[in-house]
């Protein structure tokens, strides 16, 4: 079973969500599917009857409660039965000044509310071209998990090279495997006893042409899909990946 995660970003509507939910309710799912729409749409859901289908948020506050206008806490997500949350997406890091330190606090908030973090990491084009991408990923992982103890929770890490997000350019499968293996080695160092709880997904311009090759690799536990997740037919085909 693979993890198929949709990131709708600032897109979608009540009607698009209800189209997806109606379709999912009448189709069976072979993989573990998480749909992350904008926050306002999370409360609309009635997904109890859909096997293997879950909702996730695209972000979470590092704060529990208080005078933090515009924020939504992990506790509020859990109260609304949202048990998955993307954290550290590159758009949040670059456009909203999300630092590794904040991401670390957000992961702590999520884990203490029993929410599965979907941690996004990845290098930009310059870091790839100057061959420092592994160092970047190493630091992102080290900082994200600083002083965090893991119980029995699942944690999803999405390797999302920034140069691939929304560009139509994807790394070769060998480059994806190289980074996923690097991440696995790092997780073994950080959490030798919990390594099987970590799932490593790939994200960046996943579409109908490339998803099969990417998901066929044993090193890839799933995909995070942006643009192609807004069209039900495309997303559903990816959701139904079989080896
Ligand atoms: C993303 O935003 O996480 C993403 C992978 O987007 P896209 O699939 O559109 O590249």
Q: How far, in Å, from the CA of 32 to the mean position of ligand 1?
A: 18
Q: What mean pLDDT value characterizes the chain?
A: 95
What's the CA-to-centroid distance between 202 and ligand 1, angstroms?
Answer: 10
pLDDT digits (tens, 9 = 90+) for 84-94: 999 999 999 99
Using the atom order of ligand 1, give the atom closest to the CA of residue 166. Answer: 10
Alpha carbon dihedral 215, 220, 226, 232, in 10-degree steps, equals: 30
| Nearest residue (CA) to ligand 1, atom 4 | 226
Is 123 among the catalytic positions?
no
118 and 85 Cβ atoms separated by less than 8 Å: yes
The predicted pLDDT at position 142 comes to: 98
Cα-to-centroid distance, 162 and ligand 1 (Å): 9
Global pTM reads 0.96
- Rounded-to-integer distance, Cα 241 and Cα 113, Å: 31
| Per-residue confidence in pLDDT tens, the chain, 243 aa | 999 999 999 999 999 999 999 888 888 888 999 999 999 999 766 655 788 999 999 999 999 999 999 999 999 999 999 999 999 999 999 999 999 999 999 999 999 999 999 999 999 999 999 999 999 999 999 999 999 999 999 999 999 999 999 999 999 999 999 999 999 999 999 999 999 999 999 999 999 999 999 999 999 999 999 999 999 999 999 999 998
**Residue in 89, 91, 98, 180 annotated catalytic:** 89
**Each residue's pLDDT tens digit, 27-55:** 888 899 999 999 999 976 665 578 899 99
Of all protein residues, the one whose alpha carbon is nearest to atom 3 of ligand 1 is: 226
Ligand 1 contacts (CB < 6 A) are 7, 160, 165-166, 203-206, 224-227
CA dist., res. 149 & res. 108, Å (int): 9
């Amino acid at each position: 079973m693979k993890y198929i995660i949709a990131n709708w970003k600032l897109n979608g509507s009540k009607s698009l969500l209800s189209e997806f939910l109606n379709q999912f309710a009448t189709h069976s799912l072979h993989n573990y599917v998480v749909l992350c729409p904008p926050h306002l749409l999370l409360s609309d859901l009635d997904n109890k009857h859909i096997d293997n289908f879950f909702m996730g948020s695209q972000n979470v506050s590092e704060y529990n409660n208080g005078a933090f206008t515009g924020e939504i806490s992990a506790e509020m997500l859990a109260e609304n039965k949202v048990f998955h949350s993307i954290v550290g997406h590159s758009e949040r890091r670059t456009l909203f000044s999300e630092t590794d330190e904040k991401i670390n606090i957000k992961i702590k908030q999520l884990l203490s509310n029993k929410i599965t973090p979907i941690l996004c990491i990845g290098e930009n084009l310059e870091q790839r071209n100057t061959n420092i991408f592994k160092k970047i990923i190493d630091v992102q992982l080290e900082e994200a998990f600083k002083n965090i103890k893991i119980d029995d929770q699942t944690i999803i890490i999405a390797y999302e090279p920034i140069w691939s997000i929304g560009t139509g350019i994807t790394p070769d499968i060998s480059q994806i495997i190289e980074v996923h293996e690097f991440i696995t080695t790092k997780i073994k160092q950080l959490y030798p006893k919990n390594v099987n709880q970590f799932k490593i997904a790939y994200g960046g311009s996943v579409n109908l042409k490339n998803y099969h090759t990417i998901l066929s690799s044993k090193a890839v536990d799933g995909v995070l899909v942006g643009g192609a997740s807004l069209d039900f037919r495309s997303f559903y085909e990816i959701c139904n990946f079989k080896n």
